[in-house]
Amino acid sequence: MPSEHTLITVNAAWDPDAGVWWIEESNLPGLRLEAETLEALCDKIPGAVADLLEDKVSEAFEVPIEIIAQTRTHAQVGAAA
């Protein structure tokens, strides 16, 4: 059962093909979101966490959420053609 000591961790990743940030992994089952910007995704997460936990708790409390964002890029290395 979740408590005020439960830390929700969220790994967010950029999908360049879809053009969205999405939740790649989380320790809260069912937490699946995406958004066009990282800020928009971060804004959506607290409400989704509250919705998922609402029926699992008997009293109100705050749950800390850690969001780890990652993206990748490439660099061309070598002699110019």
Checking if the pLDDT of 3 tops 70, the result is no
Query: What angle is formed at CA 67 by the lines to CA 52 and CA 19, rounded to 5 degrees?
Result: 90
Q: Do the domain assignments include residue 48?
A: yes
User: Looking at residue 26, which CATH number applies to its domain?
Assistant: 3.30.2390.10
Question: What Cα–Cα distance (Å) separates residue 32 from each residue in 20, 35, 65, 81?
Answer: 13, 11, 15, 44
pLDDT digits (tens, 9 = 90+) for 40-81: 999 999 999 999 998 888 788 889 999 999 888 888 898 765
| CA nearest to 41, candidates 61, 64, 68 | 68
Checking if the pLDDT of 1 tops 60, the result is no
pLDDT digits (tens, 9 = 90+) for 11-34: 999 999 999 999 999 999 999 999
Report the first-to-last Cα separation within the chain, whole angstroms.
60
- Supply 64's token pair: 């800390």
**How many domains is the chain partitioned into structurally?**
1
Domain around 19: 8-70
Global confidence as pTM: 0.81
Give me the pLDDT at residue 2, please.
Answer: 60
